[in-house]
Structure 1
């Protein structure tokens, strides 16, 4: 479309050239102006014949073919410009909508979530517009991003998994397995509720919990480990004792209460799962940088392990014998 407009502008300039050069003395005696006049004459002769066969070109006793051609080409140029702007607007809108969808998909945002609504809000006023300037689309996209960022918050994730759960179930009765793991889940959910869980997602033998801050997530992980003493002694039926690995990580994520935790996807969550995977049994593993600002980081010891580029610190109950005994008695009474 841009090329077409430039060709039209060149043709209009050629058609107007004789009228402008009429002010110049003997323009056909000079090579440059003579060339321009020859091209103008050729254009009028080639297009003028077709034009004269379709519309009247003599006005007030004079042939006005060139002026009619200028007027017609001007209309075409204006129409081409409007068509080009419309095409650019639609293509840009389609590209941004595609990017919006890709962005929403990458962040696992459901259609009915506040975050998805925030993304769509910026485009609401542009949906029925016949023509939208590219700058307006980009501004709407930027506004949608700001609305989405406003929904973000700092949260902490606790990943817990039962150590050797498959081996524990070997040569055990189905009823005992179902009972033990159901009671274990009740224990974990009671701990989570006591420590302000925001949302959680369970796999068959593992769970990911989201908490408002790192202190709560770590405290919940410790509490689950400490509660297993009474659980293994007084509750479970299987021969093998329950042991768990805990991993904690914290960071800024797009948080929407309407989005289930299993539908959330973020590197912060992935690292919590990796911390748990490489943790020792009955320990809480966390990146050293995460526990540095805690109100009560005592009990964590640095390790040589590095997970996802972060040096790992670990907490284990053996360092807290008095706390274990006190907490076991307290939690046993609370769960009962």
Structure 2
């Protein structure tokens, strides 16, 4: 059990308790907060809270979060496109549609399930049962390079490189609209969306997020970009490009709600990965080609010039 204690400010006066909890605890949805209240796991000034409780400001709110029960991920014989592999690390080109690790709604068929089979259980345990070896993630509907650690020493080293930006990640995407400049930087904090807890957004109290971009080519109503991550927030490139008015083509969460014919997900691909080898210190630079859907869309745009 994990108990959190929060203080309601005067600005929270009139807010429903479930909405207050969802806003203050990023990993908690409003419906989940309501269930905790109904289960007697939330108190206001030491007293059990009612289902429709509203705050007046100044209260002390305590919420007890039950320990999540994580099922153990199991090995599955799922084909992987391995770009690099040795005794310490493995880098794969993840296809669109593959979830990185098991989660509600995706108990198996994930990259972790595939890695457990391919690596015969030889993965770092730092990420826990559901994220063995996973150092960083890319979205289900984003394709491209992702690195996993085969032992704890490699995982610790790569995580440090991720933090100090030695581990560099480059993406290519098709963004809606025309860019006037040839390059630029989006430096805007990202946090959980205020009303839609499944989405991220640029918010004043979010974590610092920096994305550098440069134009590769311009088409009619679409721009081909190369993006380099300085930080690695959830959905960072998607949120930042939508924030400046240029959502990624095919992104039905942060852009147009209707899917783009010919695209399974958003047109975003992790093309490059650079890191220092955990054992040798050698600089490893890897690239992978654009997926078929991406190249077909490029050809279609080129034909419309």
- Specify if TM > 0.5: no
TM-score category by the smaller chain? under 0.3
TM norm structure 1:
0.24
Which is richer in helix? 1
- State which structure, 1 or 2, has the greater radius of gyration over its C-alpha atoms: 1
Which is richer in strand? 2
TM norm structure 2:
0.26
